[in-house]
Amino acid sequence: MIETLSVDAELIAAAQTSKAWPFEEARKLLKRFPQGKPSGEPVLFETGYGPSGLPHIGTFQEVLRTTLVRRAYEVLTGGAPTRLVAFSDDMDGLRKVPDNVPNAAMLAEHLGKPLTRIPDPFGTHESFAHHNNAMLRDFLDRFGFDYEFASASERYNSGAFDDALRGVLRNNQAILDVMLPTLREERRKTYSPVLPVSPTSGEVLQVPVEVLDPESGMVRFEDQGQMVEQCVFGGNAKLQWKVDWAMRWVDLGVDYEMCGKDLTDSVTQSGKIAKILGGRRPEGLIYELFLDENGEKISKSKGNGLTIEQWLTYGTEESLGFYLFREPKSAKQLHIGVIPRAVDEYWQFRGNLAAQELDKKLGNPVWHLLRAAGESSGAGDTLAVTYGLLLNLVGVLGANATEEQVWTYLGNYIGDLDPAHHPELAKLVDCALAYNRDYIAPTLARRAPEASEAAALAALDEELAATSDDATAEELQTMIYEIGKDPHYGFESLRDWFKALYETLLGSSQGPRMGSFIALYGIEPTRKLIAEALDAQESADA
């Protein structure tokens, strides 16, 4: 378990005025519990997850962001005890078969049943929910989160929620008075705060329920044309979503929980129900939802979001955390194309961290991410080569580029060719090779230069031929600038010159600082690229 990091008076003072959103959120909770709970119990943070589909990054982000607020609250209180519970709503009935899982026909046979009572279509776990829960927990553990996992099915089935169910049954009418005005007329006819599990089909039923005796949990409802009297305790029922959420807040004593803006109304209604049940709505952030590359909402059932494993194939855990940290109240697209920039921006912010004043540190996403992982926040590490530059290198090397080739070229830049001495860079080399193989190499297409561009390339080749192999990236960049500014070659701007270099040498409309690229790739290999481009121009003119 990750221990809370020590907090000094200077840090507390800076945190009290910091505009970083985790501190702004934590200060909401600070108004309730300035020094932690009076009883000495930990302040409870909760995240919720519905395992009706494979977990994606939108699922993971809630645990990360809640952890950031948790750590910020610990700073503000000088180390008040806290807990984080990751709660899985795995007692829900499966309403739709996801598009991105095998054995869909088998799942279709179990529609309506609790997710933990449906076979795993992957054939690896006890149930569909157990499979999806395991995927989420594996990644949370990989990142190093300090959390406790809780299962709705376990708590309902074991009777841990029985007393809470009694409270709902006692207040059945008051809860109906809250919910019915918010529903369409047709939905009102079948709505009940309690959803019994059919004793015949095993499905979670959406039917009117008559409460017979709250203390014993007895209710009456219609099931397949027959009136059934059944005790709701011990896993024979679950609560309707908004009622369930409110019940958890009260029963578990949740003090902070955030959610997406699609649940704004749920927060309002669940807050009213929590009050009826004798509790109160927790503090929380309502964040914007992620969109896919087409601007559509990410959906577990559609599978149009990024999976956690996809991000980690092409990027790093740290870059994922960095991307999720930024601007939680603004909608952002989440797709493969955002990964390279997130990687490089993470390392840029990490490199700046050590030299920053304390107030600036608290606004640096990396400070929060390191603290969330229980690490010191004074790191100022940098990478010798950016991820963007690595991608350009492997792009030139082609789809079949190897690790050994990449490290050979990296020797031009860092001297030390042992990947064991550069673990972060070694990880990115693997990511770059995968990204290039799957997304860059299939799209690259070098075009032949136009006549004026060919003349500029020939001039660059001549300059490179007279340049020492140990020329610095800045010296090479200056050389390229001078050629691009020469009116003899007719470029309206340096941007046009660099675009020509990217399109004719690298096969892309965008690229790196060419001085850095040449220093990494080498002068003679670069001259070979220029020769190939000039040959292409001659062939085009022939």
* Entry pTM: 0.90
% of the chain at pLDDT higher than 90: 80
Query: Which stretch of 54-68, 376-390, 506-520 has the lowest confidence by average pLDDT?
Result: 376-390
% of the chain at pLDDT higher than 70: 96
**Arithmetic mean of pLDDT over the chain:** 92
Q: Are residues 61 and 152 in the same domain?
A: yes
Query: Which stretch of 255-264, 286-295, 531-540 has the lowest confidence by average pLDDT?
Result: 286-295
Q: Are residues 273 and 418 in the same domain?
A: no
Q: Are residues 19 and 78 in the same domain?
A: yes
How large is the angle between the packed helices 162-170 and 172-179, nearest 10 degrees? 70
- At residue 293 the predicted structure's pLDDT band, cuts being 50, 70 and 90, is confident
Residue 81 belongs to a domain: yes
| Residue 430: exposure state from Cβ atoms within 10 A (0-12, 13-18, ≥19) | middle
* Residue 529 φ/ψ, nearest 5 degrees: -60, -40
| Residue 235: exposure state from Cβ atoms within 10 A (0-12, 13-18, ≥19) | buried
Residue 523 belongs to a domain: yes
Q: What is the pLDDT of residue 163?
A: 97
Q: What is the pLDDT of residue 352?
A: 93
- At residue 418 the predicted structure's pLDDT band, cuts being 50, 70 and 90, is confident
Residue 127 belongs to a domain: yes
Residue 248 belongs to a domain: yes
| Residue 232: exposure state from Cβ atoms within 10 A (0-12, 13-18, ≥19) | buried
Q: What is the pLDDT of residue 541?
A: 72
> What is the C-alpha separation between 148 and 141, in angstroms, rounded?
11
> Residues for the chain: how many in total?
542
**Do the beta carbons of residue 64 and residue 308 sit within 8 Å?**
no
Average pLDDT over residues 387-416: 91
Query: Tens digit of pLDDT for each residue in 195-241?
Result: 999 999 999 999 999 999 999 999 999 999 999 999 999 999 999 99
Residue type, 358: L
Q: Are residues 40 and 91 in the same domain?
A: yes
Q: Are residues 140 and 162 in the same domain?
A: yes
Statement: residue 382 has pLDDT above 70: yes
- At residue 379 the predicted structure's pLDDT band, cuts being 50, 70 and 90, is low
pLDDT higher for 307 or 193? Answer: 193
Residue 298 belongs to a domain: no
Domain count, the chain: 3
Query: Tens digit of pLDDT for each residue in 34-50?
Result: 999 999 999 999 999 98
Q: What is the pLDDT of residue 119?
A: 96
Q: Which CATH number is 486's domain given? A: 1.10.10
Query: Tens digit of pLDDT for each residue in 336-358?
Result: 999 999 999 999 999 999 999 99
Token pair for residue 161? 């929620």
Statement: residue 250 has pLDDT above 50: yes
Residue 317 belongs to a domain: no
Q: What is the pLDDT of residue 1?
A: 38
Statement: residue 360 has pLDDT above 60: yes
Q: Are residues 274 and 416 in the same domain?
A: no
Domain of 519, in residue numbers: 451-541
Q: Are residues 109 and 138 in the same domain?
A: yes
Residue 190 belongs to a domain: no
Q: Which CATH number is 23's domain given? A: 3.40.50.620
Q: What is the pLDDT of residue 25?
A: 98
Q: What is the pLDDT of residue 3?
A: 46
Statement: residue 107 has pLDDT above 70: yes
Boundary (domain end) residue, out of 287, 313, 342: 287
- At residue 303 the predicted structure's pLDDT band, cuts being 50, 70 and 90, is low
